[in-house]
Structure 1
Amino acid sequence: MTDTLKPYRIPQLEGGHRPGSDAIFNSHSKDDILSALKEWDSQRILLVHSKALAKNTSVISDLKDALGDSLITAKEGVGSHSPYSDVIDIAHRITEHKIDCVISVGSGSYSDACKVARLMSATLPVGFGEKDMEGLLDQEKGVAPQDKMKKAEGVRLILVPTSLSAGEWNHTASCTNSAGKKQHFSLEDGGAPDLILMDPWVARTSPEKLWLSSGIRAVDHCIETLCNPECAKYPDVQEWCEKALRDLAKGLVEYKEGLGRGKEGEDELVHGVSKCQAGSRMALMGFIIYRVNMGASHAIGHQLGSVGKVMHGITSCIMLPPVLRYTKVRNPEAQAKIVDVFNGMLGWDETEAGDCVARLVKITGLPSTLKEVGVTSDEQIEQIIDKTMTDVMFSFGKVLTREEVSEIVYSTK
């Protein structure tokens, strides 16, 4: 029974980093939100929430009722990849309504939009626009230097994620400008949320495609961290990523199998969700704590998402297997570990990491080619390749040439 899922509270990050900022797993989010607001004496709330959750469940209406008069304003819906227009709207609401706590209930696009908006509300003048945001950025790297960011004092942030993209754990967030370029904003002290609530009962209402695709995204986090040569310097990072990959592989399969069994599979499904939530956090620890960077799948995926309007996670379904196949001569030991994890957890007998990921994607039923997501023109593909070369995941040290990126991207047509 899912009542065997007991809540537990832990620091957001491993190793004593980010003290005072916690996460609650197996959270009953409405109750935990009310407890936090009481503890902080927050009385002017902005709720940013998923349209689908409001339309298809009572989660949002129940939360609004519980918040009562403290709910000053609510925004329904944020575009995929957190468009600047949504970020600006949220930031203006924070300022105009003197908000003291923002609550986000939704996927990674919601979390990122709220994180950036909170920073912008403190950093930029009242009534700012897209030009002002772009003015903060190092355009070559696609990142705003931290010394240009200001902490939003007195504005708390609670995130209730409904997907596994796991951006909520990072003090960096990304959003997309009107030209379709994904840009990154960051502040080590002030960019992360105050509280993260991992509620498997809310997350289980997420659309199947969103849940599974964001799960593959979390798998991508693990795998590209493990494949980075820097990972070998940090034994704890290897341990975290392998544990995360075990939880995610098992959890995604349990979720899919539980879903297929209908009401009889509900218990398996929710346990699968809970496993995946734990794995999605652990998958990012190496990147957040030690800055062990991810690689080509993320860099290409960022720009495939922005140019091709492809949702988070589907980009990893398409790009991670060919990236692994193309780069296997560079990191054979890491890829062998990845194969061992999949075979050990799922009883497989695969020999290649790229094939393991492709098999998992096939189980989910998600797209694995550009054609399936409507990215068919060479013009679009060339744009993706060009933008990839200045993506933040490459700017920390380009791991592939333009010709190599081109070969990978064209192989997915």
Structure 2
Amino acid sequence: MSDYNNYGSKKRTIQQLPVPSRKGHNAILNSNYLEDIVDAIGQWSCQRIFIVHSKALGENTDVIENLKEKLGLFVVGTKSGVGAHSPYEDVLEIARLLHEKKADCLISIGSSSYSDASKIARLMHTNLDPDNLTVEAMEALVDQDKGSAAGLKDPTTRLILIPTSLSASEWNNNSSATNPQTMKKQHFASEHAAPDLILLDPEVASTSPRKLWLSSGIRAVDHCVETMVNEKCTEEVFHHMEDALAVLLKGLRAYKEGESDSNQSDLLDGIANCQIGARNAMMGLILWSIPMGLSHAIGHQLGSACGVMHGVTSCIMLAPVLRYNASKSEKQKEVQKRVLGIWNKEFESDEPSLADAVVNFVKSLELPSTLKDVGVTNQADIEKVAERTMTDAFGAMEDMGTKEDVLAILESAKGI
């Protein structure tokens, strides 16, 4: 079992990943964001701090105001709000402001759209001239066949991420943003593009809207499941993901129960479990290079082309992808049965298939589970999503089938 399972409310500092490129890149579990930010910028001797933060956090909580008050004159600027799926315009605006304000540290507080926008903004700050921070220049960095930019120079500005969702992009040196001209999501990375520090603060995360938190939790479940059913998944990786999945399911259940009972302690314990489970769910991709599958590839483009929330794309696409793959392969049926066993054990349930288990869990969380639920019914939009999936960074990573396969999956997800 994981070192972090049932870790409770203890504070702990860990290296983000057990790989040489993450030496000096830490994460603090059960963080107090105010204390830990002050400690970090003191150690780094940073004096010009720029803050990117969730608009809702700024308007509905004292999280941002308390941070600005704590840092005082060290804060040289702020940006409130980033569009869903990290639009290029927001990325480029942050990069411009880093130049204008001569910032030596960027702090991002928000969901994965904020984390990705901030990570990529640092890359654009380093890789594009200040007078060339344009959509066209940014897109020119991308290999259009692979949907990703390679060979980028490492960022030079410090970055602290305080995530408020479970999409877990904070753990990855690879990030995605959406081109406003094509509405296609593209990926950007360099070897050392990961944040310098990740702060997992359950109190801050508890301010996240219910739908955002729970849907991003399904996204984290998607990370586990798509790794486990991948034909490249070894027994070592499977056992690691088995633990991550159990921790995530336990955390999501505790969150829901704490919410129902108005029990703040249970809620925070559920959040803490979810946060470490979401981190461990990324290890198959980041440490063992096992790519995500079609749920992610389709989800990227469904989100950017049709405006569907990041986590909600997994709520809608994971089950249809699982069902479709099981219909095509006996081996896939068997591995899905193994994953289903973990699921049924955790919930003491008797679901007949992994796809059914996912659908019923999503519905129990009162989240959308079909394209109809999110208003995506236009056939032209569905065709567009299928076409773009074929050159998504994950879709292009290995043989994901044909456009007709993707269309068949999307048809089954309609819910009509």
Other-structure match for 1:231: 233
CA contact (8 A) 2:8 2:269 kept: no
Aligned length: 404
**Distance across 1 between alignment mates of 2:210 and 2:18:** 30
Amino acid of the residue matched to residue 388 of structure 2? K
Partner of residue 134 from structure 2, selected from 129, 134, 142 = 129
User: Does structure 2 conserve the Cα–Cα contact (< 8 Å) formed by 1:14 and 1:285?
Assistant: no
TM-score by length of 1: 0.96
Matched residue SS, 1:392: coil
Q: What does 1:8-407 align with in structure 2 at a 5 Å threshold?
A: 8-14=12-18, 18-127=22-131, 128-145=133-150, 147=151, 149-153=152-156, 155-178=157-180, 179-189=182-192, 191-232=193-234, 235-262=235-262, 265-328=263-326, 329=329, 330-407=331-408
CA contact (8 A) 1:215 1:248 kept: yes
Offset of 1:333 from its aligned partner?
A: 3.2
How far apart are the structure 1 equivalents of 2:277 and 2:98?
32
How far apart are 1:16 and its partner, in Å? Answer: 5.6
Distance 1:63 1:40 in 2: 18
| Matched residue type, 2:410 | V
1:263-319 CA-partner distances (Å, limit 9, x unpaired): xx2111111100000100000011011210010000000010011100111000000
Conservation of the 8 A alpha-carbon contact between 1:296 and 1:400: no
Preserved CA contact (<8 Å) 1:142 1:183? yes
Q: What amino acid does structure 1 have at the position aligned with 2:308?
A: V
The question of 1:7 aligning with 2:11 is answered yes
Between the aligned partners of 1:98 and 1:406, the Cα distance in structure 2 is 47
Once superposed, which parts of structure 1, at least 4 consecutive aligned residues long, lie more than 6 Å away? Answer: none
- Partners of 1:188 and 1:243 lie apart in 2 by 28
Distance 2:407 2:366 in 1: 26
Q: SS of the residue aligned with 1:313?
A: helix
Q: 1:24 to 1:331 in 2, by over 3 A?
A: same
Counterpart residue type for residue 298 of structure 2: I
Shift in alpha-carbon separation, 1:173–1:392, aligned structure 2, 3 A = same
2:115–2:169: 8 Å Cα contact kept in structure 1?
yes
Query: Are the structure 2 counterparts of residues 152 and 17 from structure 1 closer, same or farther at C-alpha, using a change threshold of 3 Å?
Result: closer
> Cα RMSD between the aligned structures?
1.4
The 2-side partners of 1:6 and 1:237 are apart by 27
> One-letter code of the match for 1:44?
R
| Structure 1 unmatched runs, 5+ | none
